């Protein structure tokens, strides 16, 4: 097994964990999440699963894997760059208890924080840590909020939250250590589809504020983001 491999003009460190996993690590500052997405799109018959982050790609192997299969990865190519869609997502900024920590850390009032937030444009950093969760880039340093020391037992679906430098969307209910700021009035995930994510890596996002009654009215339609 080689110690490194060149994929899409990036040199990645290779570590194999028996016949179960191969871990690819970036040696550069550039995100390798798009490479992971490209590997997934190839649907190699020796891979059971591809889990990609900005700095690592985990390849879960199946019994078909042979050492020579690694060479096939060298033929993976990134899709032609496209600008993607610009989505404007309605969000109701809730009265979450997390606003206290957000206000204290950012030194911004809730109103000022929201006003700044609505001026921002976000891009996809990566998908994970559970189905339907998306990490978004675009928060300025002042709006980076540390994750909670004690996670919330259950975060509601379509919650919009901040964890460190990322904005995140929880599509499914789960425990969570991020700071909730509101809930979006549409779905970005549909488990009945393949792939289930309704957004693409190249997409960009802005948010528009709606009141609680409008959030209920829009949210009750269970609209996918593609229908807004």
User: What does the pLDDT look like over 9-59, one tens digit per residue?
Assistant: 788 888 888 888 899 988 777 788 888 888 888 889 899 888 888 888 889
What average pLDDT does this structure show over 96-103?
A: 94
pLDDT at 206: 97
The distance between the two most distant Cα atoms of the chain, rounded to a whole number of Å, is 58
For residue 63, is pLDDT > 70?
Answer: yes
Lowest mean pLDDT among 79-93, 106-120, 194-208: 79-93
Locate 226 and state its tokens: 């593609």
Domain residue ranges of the chain, discontinuous segments joined by +: 4-75, 86-227
Which residues lie below 8 Å from residue 140, measured CB to CB, with a gap of 6+?
116, 120
For residue 76, is pLDDT > 90?
Answer: no
Burial profile 156-181: b = 16 or more Cβ within 10 angstroms, e = fewer: eebbbbbbeebbbbbbeebebebbbb
Pick the CATH number of 4-75 from 3.30.1360.40, 3.30.470.10, 3.90.1150.10, 1.10.20.140: 3.30.1360.40
Q: Helices 110-117 and 99-106, interaxial angle, to 10°?
A: 80
Which CATH code for domain 86-227? 2.40.100.10
Cα separations (Å) of 9 from 28, 30, 38, 76, 78?
11, 11, 13, 10, 10
Which residues lie below 8 Å from residue 200, measured CB to CB, with a gap of 6+?
84, 85, 124
For residue 213, is pLDDT > 90?
Answer: yes
User: What does the pLDDT look like over 113-128, one tens digit per residue?
Assistant: 999 999 999 999 888 7
Q: What is the distance between the alpha carbons of residues 149 and 144, in angstroms, rounded to a whole number? A: 15
């Amino acid at each position: 097994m080689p110690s490194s491999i060149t994929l899409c003009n990036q040199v990645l460190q290779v570590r194999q964990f028996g016949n179960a996993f191969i871990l690819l690590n970036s040696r550069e500052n550039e995100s390798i999440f798009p490479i992971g997405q490209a590997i997934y799109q190839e649907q190699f018959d020796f891979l059971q699963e591809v889990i990609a982050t900005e700095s690592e790609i985990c390849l879960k192997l199946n019994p078909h894997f042979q050492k020579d299969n690694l060479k096939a990865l060298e033929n993976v190519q990134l899709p032609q760059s496209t600008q993607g869609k610009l989505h404007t997502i309605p969000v109701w900024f809730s009265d979450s208890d997390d606003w206290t920590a957000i206000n204290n850390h950012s030194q911004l009032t809730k109103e000022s924080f929201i006003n700044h937030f609505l001026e921002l444009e976000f891009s996809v950093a990566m998908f994970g840590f559970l189905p339907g969760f998306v990490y978004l880039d675009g928060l300025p340093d002042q709006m980076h909020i540390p994750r909670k020391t004690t996670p919330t037992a259950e975060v509601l679906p379509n919650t919009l939250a901040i964890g460190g430098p990322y904005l995140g969307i929880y599509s499914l209910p789960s425990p969570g250590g991020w700071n909730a700021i509101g809930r979006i009035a549409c779905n970005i995930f549909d488990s009945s589809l393949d792939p289930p994510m309704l957004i693409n890596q190249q997409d960009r996002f802005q948010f528009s504020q709606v009141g609680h009654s409008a959030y209920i009215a829009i949210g009750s339609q269970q609209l996918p983001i593609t229908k807004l």
